[in-house]
Amino acid sequence: MSLVAPHVLPEGPLLRLRRAAGGVAASIGALLLLPAAAGTAGQMGWGAEFAAQCLAIYGLGAACMLLGLRGHAPHARFGAANVLTLLRLAMITLLAGLVGRPLPADPAPLAWVVVVFATVTAVLDAADGPLARMQRLASDFGARFDMECDALLVAVLCLLIVQFDKAGAWVLAAGAMRYVFVLAGRAWPWVAQPLFPSWRRKAVCVVQITLLIVCLGPVIARPVSQAIAAAGLAMLAASFLVDLGWLWRR
């Protein structure tokens, strides 16, 4: 969960890289996210606060991305894979903008839109890793950026599950688990040590996101969605416990 770069970019190349990445982030925000958010707000009658919420979350994510670029060493190019991950971040923030918005009298059509949009966002996650390796631009930064977008997607889906009354507030524990892990690493340094690569960890992430999307489907009754969410939470907690046990034994 914690990735440490073996070396970092010098200040000159890092500054140029940040300028290039910042330009890409600004373009996606201005040309894609803002029109999509404004159009959605107009369609749903939510007002400017929806677009403002989307842009605020995207801006915070983009700022964190720029700070983390030092770990993109030894590469001085941002790369298409990171552009794709930035696009995923923008899509996730559109979903995040729904949190707290009033639902229509019949929420089913909106729920279907959320399910389809979240599914596309999740599917795109499969492309950035192979793309980075194909361009020989894979880095600790890219892996971390991708992972944090996955964690944000899980958190947003958990919030939407509560908002659409598909499960109780306990499901938020799944969305908070990654961030609790990071905070624990600040309190106990042994938790923040690098973890071994694991297909189990990747599979659990994919299954967890899939289960949360399924929970939001209008055809899934609340008792069933609660059971699905509970199974996903138990699986995710078990995966974190395995990693914590390995770190503790080290």
Query: Which DSSP symbol is given to 194?
Result: P
Helix (H) or strand (E) holding 10: none
pTM of the model: 0.93
For tokens 């964690």, name the residue: 151
Which residues lie closer than 8 Å to 166 by C-beta, 6 or more apart?
A: 215, 216, 220, 222, 225, 226, 229
pLDDT, tens digit only, all 250 positions of the chain: 333 344 567 788 899 999 999 999 999 999 999 999 999 999 999 989 999 999 999 999 999 999 999 888 888 889 999 999 999 999 999 999 999 999 999 999 999 999 999 999 999 998 988 998 998 988 889 999 999 999 999 999 999 999 999 999 999 999 999 999 999 999 999 998 988 888 999 999 999 999 999 999 999 999 999 999 999 999 999 999 999 999 999 8
Q: In whole angstroms, give the CA distance from residue 93 to residue 129.
A: 21
DSSP string, 96-119: HTTTTPPPPSS-HHHHHHHHHHHH
